[in-house]
Amino acid sequence: MFGLGTTELLIIAGIVLLVFGAKRLPEIGKGLGGAIREFRKVKKDISPNDKEKSTTEKEEKKSLENKLVKKVIEDVPAVKKGIAVKKKLDKIKEIIK
């Protein structure tokens, strides 16, 4: 798995535990699991064999991608907080200018 051994994985797991805390890990796992499930569902809906797609199919693909992005934002707490921080930083940048 990417050349990572048991020791490296344990170190990474320890850092994640320190950063997010033991109470937040199940939430993050649940959110990521839901996002992965949604991604697989969207992937199954899109057929990779069609090389020529009409504009309606492209629009459907974009709407599915948008649904997936919204689902990830709703389900993964870390992403939700990151977006909130980004919005605050954008407001600060506007004030500074």
Q: pLDDT tens per residue, the chain (97 residues)?
A: 467 888 888 898 888 888 888 888 888 888 888 888 888 888 777 755 554 555 666 666 677 788 877 777 777 777 778 888 888 888 988 888 7
Q: Is pTM beyond 0.75 here?
A: no
Burial of 31 (0-12, 13-18, 19+ CB in 10 A): buried
Helices (H), the chain: 6-20, 25-45, 55-75, 77-96
pLDDT at 48: 59
Across 66-77, b (16+ Cβ under 10 Å) vs e yields eebeebbeebbe
Query: What is the distance between the alpha carbons of residues 42 and 47, in angstroms, rounded to a whole number?
Result: 10
pLDDT at residue 1 in the model: 46
